[in-house]
Amino acid sequence: MNPSSELTSSQPYLIRAWHEWCTDNGLTPYVTVAVDASVQVPREYVKDDEIVLNISHDSTTGLQIGNDYLVFKARFAGVARDVMVPVDRVLAIFARETGQGMAFPKSSLHVHEDAVASDTPDPDDANTRLGHLSSVPDVVASEAETPASQLPVTSKTGTRPTLTRIK
């Protein structure tokens, strides 16, 4: 038996760690989610099959980052809504203020979609990518009442953060 077949995914642990790091440093943790039928979010805020969610303790109620799901309540246009996101649908977690975070390969989505995983990891497919995310989206679902044009740009150059891929 291959020892790696007994290992659980590191993704939920990394999401929890980044969430804690953002919180400890006074930053706002956001997640980018690939939306499909398994994701429970307000569909009116989904753009190009993705949604960006503020998962700070100030913006959520009952946040639980488990090994299988992110579950919480959040307000969208003033209305409290239940949100449930399978962990494997999370594409990235990042700090809104700096763009610093972690992106997960889209190839991990096929495990959820096909319900089949290979026991042999692809050496060319990094488990995670560190750096700065390419852009903070124009619409952040859990802050829908605040137009993106009013969100502060906090980088030193006055432009949005960019992704630096490290292999």
Which CATH fold would you assign to the domain 9-150?
Answer: SH3 type barrels. (2.30.30)
How do the pLDDT tens digits run along the chain, 167 residues long?
566 578 999 999 999 999 999 999 999 999 999 999 999 999 999 999 999 999 999 999 999 999 999 999 999 999 999 999 999 999 999 999 999 999 998 755 544 444 433 443 443 443 333 444 444 444 455 444 433 433 444 444 455 555 556 65
With 0-12 CB in 10 A as exposed, 13-18 as middle and 19+ as buried, what is 17?
Answer: middle
7-11 LR contacts (CB < 8 Å, sep 24+):
8/67, 9/67, 9/87, 9/88, 9/108, 10/127, 10/128, 11/87, 11/88, 11/90, 11/104, 11/108
The whole-number pLDDT of residue 38 equals 96
Place of tokens 């610093």: 100
Where exactly are the structural domains of the chain? 9-150
